[in-house]
């Protein structure tokens, strides 16, 4: 059954589309607003109008462009018109999966302009599930039991291979949207291509606005920052696996994510999400930003404050990974993480 665009426009008119993409807290009214396409902060270059039953937008500023919902997605996501239509139909709930769209168009999207720099580091070849000793090495690096790492490897959330010629471990998921590598020896990667020295490499094709590990379901989500906390979240959430409410660990691999990947929106809408930000200023800022994005998707959002916890060496906890080496006696505080 062909899905007419008119039906889509009824279901998800421009103001709702903008809110659904997390670009506005609530569906914006007609009139002038900061342009979400060229990430305008305080301006009003983006004008919206509802005339004769149709929504139209125009950016009088940098974009110098305008049109309907589909052309918005074309400009916002750097999509071809064909892919923008497909994306719009998906956002309206007509996806290949639910049978409304029997001939899905391959969606190889260019990342949106906000996602630069484009990752240039290639995936390892071969990419393996790793030996027991590989898993043990990562477990020691992250201060978690080896069983956490082997379980993640089995689930396809962790893999091994050479990145920039160096033995590395990767976090990834079945979505093929995001993968990040770290060195097996815990050292930093040397300069490569135009990139400086760094602790992690985001691999080619990655889109940082994808919440890593996000799956369909109703389990409450434990949302953390970075690959280290992703591993720690798996360790802590594993205790809830057999309970009535098993938690699903999900990570944002970057504090500066301002919009969510469109494919994440239907999977997140209405879910319960507990954010565990890093206990520093940048972490708190990121946590608030994500809470805002999730709030616009009708998620039930709350946060867990790590700053009152202390490590067993007496230093303050700065992230969830630090909680794997807590000062004895503080464990009861941490059990509140899953209440
Ligand atoms: Zn603009």
Domains of the chain: 5-110 (3.90.580), 132-202 (no CATH), 221-338 (3.40.1360)
CA-to-CA distance for 258 and 254, rounded, in angstroms? 10
| First-to-final CA distance of the chain | 45
Q: Ligand 1 centre from 17 Cα, in Å?
A: 16
Q: How far does the centroid of ligand 1 lie from the alpha carbon of residue 59, in Å?
A: 5
Percent of the chain scored above 90 by pLDDT?
Answer: 55
Phi-psi region of 254 (alpha: psi -120 to 50; beta: other; left: phi over 0): left
pLDDT value of position 310: 93
Ligand 1 center to 104 CA (angstroms): 30
233 near 258, Cβ under 8 Å?
no
Q: Output the CA 147–ligand 1 centroid distance in Å.
A: 49
Three-state DSSP state, 189: strand
CA of 42 to the centre of ligand 1 (A): 12
- For ligand 1, the distance from its centroid to the CA atom of residue 65, given in whole angstroms, is 7
CA of 8 to the centre of ligand 1 (A): 24
What is the predicted pLDDT for the residue at 108? 36
Q: Kindly report whether the peptide bond that precedes residue 123 is cis, defined as omega within 30 degrees of 0.
A: no
Cis upstream peptide for 117 (omega within 30°): yes
Q: How far is the CA of 318 from the centre of ligand 1 (A)?
A: 38
Q: What is the pTM of this model?
A: 0.66
Distance from the CA of 47 to the center of ligand 1, in angstroms?
10
**Cα 30 to ligand 1 centroid, rounded to whole Å:** 16
pLDDT at 119: 66
Identify the helix (H) or strand (E) that includes residue 227.
Answer: helix 226-238
Q: What is the pLDDT of residue 52?
A: 82
C-beta atoms surrounding 240 within 10 Å:
17
- Residue 95: the pLDDT is 60
Compute the distance from residue 19 Cα to the ligand 1 centre, in Å.
17
Interval between CA 75 and ligand 1 midpoint (Å): 9
* CA distances, 165 to each of 123, 178, 182, 221 (Å): 11, 20, 12, 35
Beta carbons within 8 Å of 94's beta carbon, 6+ residues apart: 3, 8, 100, 101
Residue 253: its pLDDT value, please?
93
CA dist list (Å): 196 to 31, 126, 191, 298, 307: 44, 25, 4, 39, 31
Ligand 1 center–CA 159 separation, angstroms: 40
Q: Strand 272-276 and strand 221-225: pairing? A: parallel
> Exposed, middle or buried, 339 (CB in 10 Å: 0-12/13-18/19+)?
exposed
Residue 203 CA to ligand 1 centre (angstroms):
29
pLDDT value, residue 153? 96
The alpha carbon of 61 and the centre of ligand 1 are apart by a number of angstroms equal to 5
pLDDT value of residue 69: 95
Rounded to the nearest angstrom, the distance between the alpha carbon of 282 and the centre of ligand 1 is 27
Q: State which residues of the chain have pLDDT below 70.
A: 1-3, 95-119
Which residues lie below 8 Å from residue 162, measured CB to CB, with a gap of 6+? 124, 168
β-strand pairing of 46-51 with 54-59:
antiparallel
Cα of 114 vs centre of ligand 1, distance in Å, is: 13
Concatenate the DSSP letters of all residues of 204-226 into one string. Answer: TT--TTS-BT--SSSS-EEEEEH
Residue pair 263/210 in contact (Cβ under 8 Å)? The answer is yes
CA distances (Å), origin 3, targets 53, 89, 91, 93: 19, 8, 13, 11
In angstroms, the Cα distances linking 34 to 60, 114, 258 are: 11, 15, 15
- Expressed in angstroms and rounded, the spacing between residue 56 Cα and the centre of ligand 1 is 14
CA of 111 to the centre of ligand 1 (A): 17
Ligand 1 centre distance from Cα of residue 3 (Å): 29
CA 40 to centroid of ligand 1, rounded, Å: 7
- How remote is the CA of residue 71 from the centroid of ligand 1, in Å? 13
């Amino acid at each position: 059954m062909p899905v007419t665009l008119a039906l889509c426009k009824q279901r998800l008119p421009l103001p709702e589309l903008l809110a659904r993409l997390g670009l506005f807290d609530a569906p914006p009214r007609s009139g002038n607003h900061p342009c979400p396409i060229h990430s305008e902060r305080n301006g009003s270059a983006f004008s919206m109008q509802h005339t004769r039953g149709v929504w139209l937008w125009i950016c009088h500023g940098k974009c110098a462009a305008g049109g309907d919902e589909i052309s918005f997605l074309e400009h916002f996501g750097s999509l071809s018109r064909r892919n923008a239509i497909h994306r719009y139909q998906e956002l309206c709930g007509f996806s290949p999966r639910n049978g409304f769209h029997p001939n899905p168009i391959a969606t190889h999207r260019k990342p949106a302009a906000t996602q630069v720099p484009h990752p240039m580091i290639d995936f390892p070849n071969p990419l393996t599930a790793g030996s027991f000793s590989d898993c043990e090495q990562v477990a020691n690096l992250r201060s978690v039991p080896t069983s956490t790492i082997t379980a993640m490897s089995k689930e396809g959330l962790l893999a091994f291979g050479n990145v920039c010629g160096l033995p590395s471990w990767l976090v990834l998921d079945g979505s093929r949207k995001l993968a990040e590598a770290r060195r097996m020896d815990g050292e930093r990667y040397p300069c490569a291509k135009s990139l400086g020295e760094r602790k992690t490499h985001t691999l080619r094709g990655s889109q940082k606005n994808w919440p890593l590990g996000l799956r369909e379901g109703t389990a409450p989500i434990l949302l953390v920052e970075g690959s280290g906390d992703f591993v720690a979240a798996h360790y802590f959430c594993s205790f809830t696996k057999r309970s009535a409410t098993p938690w699903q660990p999900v990570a944002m691999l970057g504090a500066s994510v301002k919009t969510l990947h469109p494919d994440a929106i239907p999977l997140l809408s209405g879910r319960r999400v507990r954010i565990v930000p890093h206990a520093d200023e940048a972490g708190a800022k990121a946590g608030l930003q994500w809470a805002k994005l999730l709030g616009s998707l009708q998620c039930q959002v709350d946060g867990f404050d790590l700053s009152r916890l202390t490590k067993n060496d007496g230093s303050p906890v700065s992230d969830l990974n630090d909680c794997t080496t807590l000062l004895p006696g503080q464990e009861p505080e941490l059990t509140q993480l899953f209440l």
